[in-house]
Amino acid sequence: MTIYTDKRLLRTGLIGGTFSRHSGNMREVACQNAALAELGVQTEHILHFHQTHSDTLLSISSAQAAQAVLAAPLQDADAWVFSPCISGWGAAIVTADCVPVFLWDDTGSYAALAHCGWRGVVKGLAQKAAQALLTQNPHLRLNAWLGPHIQACCFEVQEDVAAQFPANCVLRKKDKIYVDLNIEIKRQLTQAGVAAEKIQTPYYCTCGDKENFFSWRRDHEKNMLLSFLYKP
């Protein structure tokens, strides 16, 4: 089992990261449960939503709120905000090129997990997730980590998409246009109040690395990676 994660996150006592493709297609609940159970996660306490490439956040602040989400039909949303994190509970998202954005404070008491496709990035989802945490506690020292996603080397777009991003995110090579999602997400996070040195953007490209990752852009198949956050 290979999980891509940030050691800073694990040092707080939280568990989280993104599974490689070797754990299976995470569109399948059985694959999700098997992978999480191997880590000792209570799979029945992992929250899910219906991802819609929006800027909608779901905030969870108590076990009762978590139970209510679990008991209800899946809601449309694209980010989880735990304020505070609840022992024995967590959340998950699935991606196949989109950016899993992890946020947490230095003590592991507050955290967020966002599914940022390019539309969500344009809508400022990463910034809104950080702001939601800082609204709960303005004194938080937030950390950020961007999990495996399509990188600028492979994210070719047309003019209509490029026009929605700041110029410094857009790369033009010969007759092709590429967008660097990392640049815009980092800008949003710093704008929200996350210190630049606390934002990590490792270069794991889902599209370029077929051995380790699924990619919709590359394969046009409905295979997914799972990213999760959990407080033991």
How confident is the model at residue 76, as a pLDDT? Answer: 98
60 contacts: CB under 8 Å, gap ≥ 6: 47, 66, 69, 80, 81, 82, 83, 86, 89, 91
User: Phi first, then psi: what are they for 59, rounded to 5°?
Assistant: -100, 130
The per-residue pLDDT for range 27-48, each reduced to its tens digit, is 999 999 999 999 999 999 999 9
User: How many CB atoms are located within 10 Å of the residue 25 CB?
Assistant: 18
How confident is the model at residue 184, as a pLDDT? Answer: 98
How confident is the model at residue 147, as a pLDDT? Answer: 98
How confident is the model at residue 44, as a pLDDT? Answer: 95
88: Cα separation from own chain's centroid: 20
The position carrying tokens 């509970």 is 89
Residue 135 three-state SS:
helix
Torsion on CA atoms 55, 137, 49, 8, rounded to nearest 10:
100
Per-residue confidence of the chain (232 residues) as pLDDT tens digits?
A: 899 999 999 999 999 999 999 999 999 999 999 999 999 999 999 999 999 999 999 999 999 999 999 999 999 999 999 999 999 999 999 999 999 999 999 999 999 999 999 999 999 999 999 999 999 999 999 999 999 999 999 999 999 999 999 999 999 998 999 999 999 999 999 999 999 999 999 999 999 999 999 999 999 999 999 999 999 9
How confident is the model at residue 202, as a pLDDT? Answer: 96
How confident is the model at residue 6, as a pLDDT? Answer: 98
Domains recognised in the chain with CATH numbers: 3-150+198-231 (3.60.140.10)
How confident is the model at residue 11, as a pLDDT? Answer: 98
The C-alpha atoms of residue 100 and residue 145 are separated, in whole angstroms, by: 8
